[in-house]
Amino acid sequence: MARYDFDLITIGAGSGGVRATRLAGGYGARTAIVEESRVGGTCVMRGCVSKKLLVMGAHFADDFADSRGFGWAPGDARFDWSALIHNKNVELDRLEGVYNRILETNSVRRIDGRAVLSDAHTVTVNGQSFTAEIILIATGSRPSLPAIPGIEHAITSNEALDLSGLPNRVAIVGGGYIAVEFAGIFNGLGAQVTEIIRGDQVLRGFDADVRATLGDEMAKKGIDIRSGTVVQAIAKDDQGGLRLTLAGPGGVAADSLVVDAVLYATGRTPNTAGIGLAEVGVALDDAGGVVVDDDNRTSVANIYAVGDCTNRVMLTPVAIAEGRAFTETLFNGTPTRVDYANIPTAVFSQPPVGTVGLAEHDAGTPDSVDVYLSRFRPMKHTLTGRDEMTMMKLVVDRRSDRVVGCHMVGVDAPEIIQGLGVALKCGATKAQFDATIGIHPTAAEEFVTMREPRQPPAAAPEAA
């Protein structure tokens, strides 16, 4: 008789949890997955998939306008927010059905409800207890909100994907990838967008040329970026809007801003509270992330964790890779670890960003790296007349000639950078980039035709 009800119980049916559990089930393990919301997790239901569908919808305004340069005479186009949200939800329902069929095909039992750990081998859901030899935590993350007066009037990316109507005036607080993506969505669909950032530029931590280029392009589209600014309070006004009290550097009072909606995108927090982790001895970091080793094992020997809840790299493909590594190691006799070096990343802003490898400021000193940079107007806009620029950048280690960073802002950046991610994984050199024949005419060929490195800035004169 089996000692436990299951070989594996997974808490959380997002990308990482589903991948790990269905692979384990396919390898013959007795598996179950517990989910209190919808199968598919943040990425499908509240994140990258649903958000990108809105990004695509928002881009049609530019496409209609640009078509005139190619001889088209588009008629009066009308946008219907409710139709977009409805169609997006139909697609999410379809994807959830796909996830459920995958779990069923691999003999994974689905348990609906909120899971709480009773001990290291027991999960309680809706008053019923289930035991497992191994427990996997894959509970993801959630948007975080600051404790300021009136924060209850704000929405997060979760609610923004299902608003009943398109607001006319939107304030977006934050400068990270979620913030700039929603700024592009609402701006493209016709809303007046103000983005409020604490720092001096969007996308903190990204390469400086990426940050500057995207900020310039967003401003060209009419997005008002308020840098060095914080929101001190939110209150309803007499006309049904929301009044934001703003402050500049050092907390000095600035002005106020009235909008119809305020979206906070100031970070995400691991979903680990209230499920019994600390009570059974699982160590958490200061942000609530589950502390794990290189094999995804927690401080409790039979409990593992993958994905956003570990507070490592909050990206869906990383969670999927971690889920696969966990299952291969424990249920297929193939010890596997995730390589976190050179993970390609995309920001589906407008224009989009693609990046892989090191930013210039992380790659070394000016005398140890060569930087190749190109800025140009995309071929499409030679006819549309649109004032939009593409930026491409290579960061090269001077001693080894290895390309250590590729960065792009412009149309198709995510698609192009995915391929360059393979090159960086293979340790490609600048000489090998140079020896590669470009596909003409494409934007991507610029990555293999940049020949002259950018000169480093002149050193500041020493004080007398």
- 255 pLDDT band, cuts 50/70/90, is confident
Residue that has been written with the tokens 């610029």 in this structure: 446
Q: Per DSSP, what are the bridge partners of residue 407?
A: 355, 393
pLDDT at 462 over 90: no
- 165 pLDDT band, cuts 50/70/90, is very high
At 464 the pLDDT is 33
Alpha carbon distance 337, 294 (integer Å): 7
Tallying the residues shown for the chain, one arrives at 464
Alpha carbon distance 193, 292 (integer Å): 40
Alpha carbon distance 197, 226 (integer Å): 6
Helix locations, 350-439, DSSP H: 360-363, 381-384, 413-425, 430-435
Query: For 151-155, which contacts have Cβ atoms below 8 Å and span 24 or more sequence positions?
Result: 151/234, 151/264, 153/234, 153/235, 153/236, 153/242, 153/262, 154/234, 154/262, 154/263, 154/264, 155/261, 155/262, 155/263, 155/264
Mean pLDDT of 228-257: 88
Pick the closest to residue 219 from 197, 194, 199 (CA basis).
194
Mean pLDDT of 43-61: 94
Describe the crossing of helices 81-105 and 15-26 by its angle, rounded to 10 degrees: 30
Mean pLDDT of 267-283: 97
- Take residue 306 and report the two structure tokens written for it: 């993958």
- 252 pLDDT band, cuts 50/70/90, is low
Alpha carbon distance 417, 263 (integer Å): 29
Task: Indicate which residue of 121, 153, 361, 440 is catalytic.
Answer: 440
Alpha carbon distance 114, 37 (integer Å): 9
- Take residue 144 and report the two structure tokens written for it: 């975080």
User: 109 near 32, Cβ under 8 Å?
Assistant: yes
Alpha carbon distance 279, 300 (integer Å): 11
Describe the crossing of helices 177-188 and 208-220 by its angle, rounded to 10 degrees: 20
Around 400, how many Cα atoms within 13 Å sit in the side-chain half-sphere?
Answer: 11
User: 117 near 83, Cβ under 8 Å?
Assistant: no
Alpha carbon distance 151, 155 (integer Å): 9
- 188's CB contacts (< 8 A; 6+ apart) are 55, 57, 58, 59, 60, 61, 62, 221, 350
Q: Per DSSP, what are the bridge partners of residue 32?
A: 9, 109
pLDDT at 296 over 70: yes
Alpha carbon distance 86, 359 (integer Å): 39
Pick the closest to residue 173 from 233, 215, 255, 231 (CA basis).
231
User: 50 near 160, Cβ under 8 Å?
Assistant: no
- Take residue 270 and report the two structure tokens written for it: 């691991």
Per-residue pLDDT tens for 324-333? 999 999 999 9
Alpha carbon distance 449, 438 (integer Å): 7
Mean pLDDT of 215-237: 96
At 132 the pLDDT is 98
- The alpha carbon of residue 130 and the mean position of all alpha carbons in its chain are separated, in whole angstroms, by 34
Alpha carbon distance 322, 140 (integer Å): 13
At 393 the pLDDT is 98
Kindly report the average pLDDT of the chain as a whole number. 95
Backbone angles phi, psi at 122, to 5 degrees: -125, 130
Residue that has been written with the tokens 């996830």 in this structure: 99
Task: Give all domains of the chain, ordered by start, each with its CATH number.
Answer: 6-143+269-331 (3.50.50.60), 151-266 (3.50.50.60), 345-448 (3.30.390.30)
Please return the burial class of 163, using the count of CB atoms within 10 Å of its CB with bins 0-12, 13-18 and 19+.
middle
Per-residue pLDDT tens for 373-385? 999 999 999 999 9
Establish whether 121 is a catalytic residue. no
- Which of 171-180, 189-198, 237-246, 282-291 has the weakest average pLDDT? 237-246
Cβ atoms within 10 A of the Cβ of 206, count? Answer: 22
Per-residue pLDDT tens for 352-381? 999 999 999 999 999 999 999 999 999 999
- Which of 132-141, 257-266, 453-462 has the weakest average pLDDT? 453-462
Pick the closest to residue 452 from 430, 437, 432, 436 (CA basis).
430
Describe the crossing of helices 48-58 and 81-105 by its angle, rounded to 10 degrees: 150
Q: Per DSSP, what are the bridge partners of residue 301?
A: none
pLDDT-above-90 percentage for the chain:
93
Per-residue pLDDT tens for 89-136? 999 999 999 999 999 999 999 999 999 999 999 999 999 999 999 999
